[in-house]
Chain A
Amino acid sequence: MTKYWIDGEKAIDISEADDVNSVSFTIDDKDVVVSGGQSILEAVQRMSGIANIPALCYHPAVRPYGACRLCTVEASEDGGKNFKFVAACLYPVKEGIIVKTSTEKVKKLRKGIIELLLARCPNTRIIQELAAEYGVEKPRFSVGDQDCILCGLCVRACQEIIGKSAISLVNRGIYKEVAAPFYAYELGEGCIGCGDCAFVCPTGAITMGDNGKPVLPRVKIPYAEIGAMTSREKLPASQG
């Protein structure tokens, strides 16, 4: 069998080559050879036209995070006997695995995730487009009006590319949000105003303000719902 190393548009014949850290596996019934040490999603994005895996929290410039789960695919390590759901952005390519990127199960799962995202952010274009692609019309759930999907790309970009860590994800569960140190929403001196966070944001939830600093999205949860959560806004002015 001829082995091809697919890099971008090019296909290089490596059948005769030695000492190549190559991994061959099957994806959507196609046998491919790629360089080892990368994730399924990275491999797929480098091979044009092999598969289409949606992802919102992935960006090639920062470390994968595995939060949006849209890139979930089915993978089998035992020659196709058992398949399990894995996040393509994190799952490393392994010799002999069989990957299926758009089975009915996978599509159903993505549709469900998109429905949940649409319920959170009904006015966001990228999610509306995904909803149209996967046939989600109207979420069956209570609908909110957030912009931020908490993919964490802004936080990772600020930390890994800029090296500033001016923002972070704070709180947990439905109260999770992006904030500056000490749970501030206004960015202080830690931020150099590079705009990387706004650039990398897939939903446009972060914009650049007039003062040259990004404006962070607020999680719009009714005051009463916050309940016992410790939130800066909840504390009286004297303590906050």
Chain B
Amino acid sequence: MVEQVRKLLDKKLKNVQELEKLRKTILDNRDTSRITVSVCGGTGCRASGAEAVVEAFAEEIEKRELQVKIDFKETGCHGFCERGPVVVIGPKKIFYQHVQPEDVQEIINETVLQGKAVKRLLYVDPATGEEITYESDVPFYNKQTRLILGANGEIDPTDIEQYIAAGGYSALSKALFQLNPDKIVNEITSAGLRGRGGGGFPTGRKWQSCRTSRSDVKYVLCNADEGDPGAYQDRSILEGNPHSVIEGMIIGAYAIGASQGFVYVRNEYPLAVEHARIALEQAMDYGFLGENILDSGFSFKITINKGGGAFVCGESSALIASLEGKIGEPKSKYTHMSEKGLWEKPSLLNNVKTWANVPLIINKGADWYSKIGTAGSKGTMIFSLVGKINNSGLVEVPMGITLREMIYDIGGGILGGKKFKAVQTGGPSGGCIPEQFLDTHVDFDELPKLGSMMGSGGMIVMDEDTCMVDVARYFINFLKGESCGKCVPCREGLAKMSDILDRITHGEGKPEDLDTMMDLAEILNAGALCALGRTAANPVISTLKYFKDEYMAHINEKKCPAGVCRELIQYSIDPEKCTGCGLCARACSMNAISGEKKEPHVVNQNMCIKCGVCYDSCKFGAVIKQ
């Protein structure tokens, strides 16, 4: 009896035939007449209340006993985080935005039971004013190529069978039984895949040198220590489709001959850690990890290692130091990791996005993959499009798309109809690209020409109200705090650069400061030990190059043209426009505004703390910010 139960509970797939049989069983048992309801459970939508929506759906479905009719699931991030919580009703994929628990009854009554769309929850195209019913018609989605992120909205990340039903682990069985390690490496090389973590190093070459490295032990590592402000694409993949990363890692391990893998993920990503953990357990249960995977004779295990929250640990040598239990400081890379990496053994480290690309390439072939993208950069890239933009969210586009298409067609233009000023790409060490370069094709080779970089795919859009000196100050300050402090140029140089930028934004800048900063930038670029320090000056160099007039205004005229730097602005009231309503005076927490009723008011400059409440509260535009 016990043996029989154990046999029933044992889900381990012993060979490829069993995998294909399981896949077929899942698909055959699937009732296609059921209506799918997928609620986005990504961190973005959770922040706007998706968990309550999920609960409301579950409750309602149970109350009305609709389980037979509805295939309900909480999925990973759909990407359109601006509009969260997002709910998509299949099979036609009716797209609802900003869904609240109280909308659930209506959605079930109207859409699920009668097939009618709930008009007030539909997305309205701001350009045309039209209501859009289906997800594929939403401009934010229909301009994208969602090869990696697409599955996020389809599958429940905590259920391996949904991944298998969607064709999961077929790349692994192909790699194990139809290809050999050399062929796998060749496939990755000829696909032209480049490292998605920032460096853009050809992945195939990395795999090749790890494969040829001689050692008894080799390691496969996944870098999920994503720390750029505003970037969350690695997080979303690990949360929404962890098996794609795991499958990629197993293929990589088979190709180089490793038997142990590590996922280094930030502890600040609890959902990503949780989903990766569940996925690893399930992959173990189903026999995709462990001893003798699918009867191929190949064994491989993956362990999760949680990072302590240092940005610099995303740097490969610091990541390895941290994995080894040492201080998370980078080391020089004169000896390559493919020779001596983790515990001095050859190690293959790739970013989450790179790993997620692997099953795709193995399944569809290098020829197919290399047709997407530009001459030097193949495939798609996932960007987190954030900042002063209408449609912020995760965007997956083919390499070579222009910045203009990204910002205006997918991003829906600048928030509030304001004017575009700059876009910062590649995380905190990226450069700010001004309007004249908006038609640049985004790839690994074009962005560095403008003094920026691809990085891990951060993209922060700034409008005319952004002060570029303040932006440079913000990023340098971030990097100063995240510098490990090991080498002098980075530790001391960034601190001094931050001092100077602080002074300039406080109106105490001197003309010679700009030369000093350029000198510091050179020291950082040439002298720093790791890539964090070497690229850290990019925000300063690029803003000095494209927005020097703003620096000059701060230094010479003691003015902040964008009206951001508090010390350099002054609020006053235009007596012509002021009606004396007193709204600003009541709003002012410092009682700095005085005046008789129905008479023009005045701001007492000595008491004003420049919080801007008066500016925001005035209905007549009488408060002037200069």
Contact = CB atoms under 8 A, between A and B. Distances in A.
A69 B491 contact: no
Given A90-B334, A92-B334, A109-B523, A171 B485 contact: yes
A87 interface: yes
Interface in B472-500: 480-489, 491-496, 499-500
B528 A116 contact: no
- Going nearest first, the 3 A-B pairs with the smallest beta carbon separation are A176-B485, A116-B492, A112-B523
A237 interface: no
B264 to A, nearest CB: 18
Given A67-B487, A150-B491, A173-B491, A141 B499 contact: yes
B375 interface: no
Contacts of B499: 141-142
Contacts of B611: none
A72 B486 CA distance: 15
B332 A173 contact: no
Contacts of A85: 526-527
A112 B522 contact: yes
B163 to A, nearest CB: 38
B327 interface: yes
A207 B494 CA distance: 29
A109 B516 CA distance: 13
A120 interface: yes
Given A72-B527, A116-B496, A176-B491, A140 B332 contact: no
A66 B527 contact: no
A68 B526 CA distance: 13
A105 B523 CA distance: 10
Interface string B388-417: 000000000000000000000000000000
B526 A173 contact: no
A141 B482 contact: no
A117 B488 contact: yes
A119 interface: yes
B529 interface: yes
Nearest to A56: B488
A173 B486 CA distance: 8
A174 B529 contact: no
Nearest to A149: B488
Given A68-B487, A171-B485, A117 B492 contact: yes
Interface in A72-120: 72, 85-87, 90-92, 105, 108-109, 112-113, 116-117, 119-120
20 contacts: A66-B486, A69-B489, A69-B527, A70-B488, A92-B334, A112-B522, A112-B523, A113-B523, A116-B489, A116-B523, A140-B512, A141-B500, A149-B488, A150-B491, A172-B482, A173-B481, A173-B485, A173-B491, A174-B483, A174-B491
Nearest to B490: A173
Contacts of B481: 173
B334 A113 contact: no
A203 interface: no
A85 B526 CA distance: 6
Nearest to B335: A92
B143 interface: no
A174 B495 contact: yes
Interface of A: 65-70, 72, 85-87, 90-92, 105, 108-109, 112-113, 116-117, 119-120, 140-142, 149-150, 152, 168-169, 171-176
Contacts of B489: 69, 112-113, 116
Nearest to B496: A141
Contact of A120 (B492, B494, B523, B527): B492
Contacts of A150: 485-486, 491
Contacts of A86: 334
Contact of B486 (A67, A92, A117, A168): A67
Contacts of B486: 65-67, 150, 152, 176
Contacts of B526: 72, 85, 105, 109
Interface string B530-550: 000000000000000000000
B506 interface: no
Interface of B: 310, 312, 327, 331-332, 334-335, 480-489, 491-496, 499-500, 512, 516, 519-520, 522-523, 526-529
Given A70-B488, A152-B486, 11 more contacts: A72-B526, A90-B334, A92-B335, A108-B522, A116-B489, A116-B496, A117-B488, A119-B496, A141-B496, A171-B485, A172-B482
A173 B493 contact: no
Nearest to A152: B486
Contact of B487 (A66, A112, A168): A66
A90 B312 contact: no
Contacts of A65: 486
Contacts of A90: 332, 334
A177 to B, nearest CB: 9
Given A90-B332, A90-B334, A176-B491, A67 B529 contact: yes
B535 to A, nearest CB: 14
Contact of B327 (A108, A113, A168, A175): A168
A167 B489 CA distance: 24
Nearest to B486: A67
Contacts of B485: 150, 169, 171-176
Contact of B516 (A108, A113, A140): A140
Contact of A69 (B327, B334, B528): B528
A91 B332 contact: yes
A112 B516 CA distance: 10
A202 B499 CA distance: 27
Nearest to A89: B332
A161 B81 CA distance: 55
A70 B492 CA distance: 14
A173 B483 contact: yes
A86 B527 CA distance: 8
B441 to A, nearest CB: 27
Contact of A172 (B310, B493, B528): B310
Contact of A119 (B310, B480, B492): B492
Contact of B484 (A69, A168, A172): A172
B331 A66 contact: yes
Nearest to B529: A66
Contacts of A120: 492
B327 to A, nearest CB: 7
A174 B486 CA distance: 10
B6 to A, nearest CB: 48
A169 B487 CA distance: 13
A68 B488 contact: yes
A141 B500 CA distance: 8
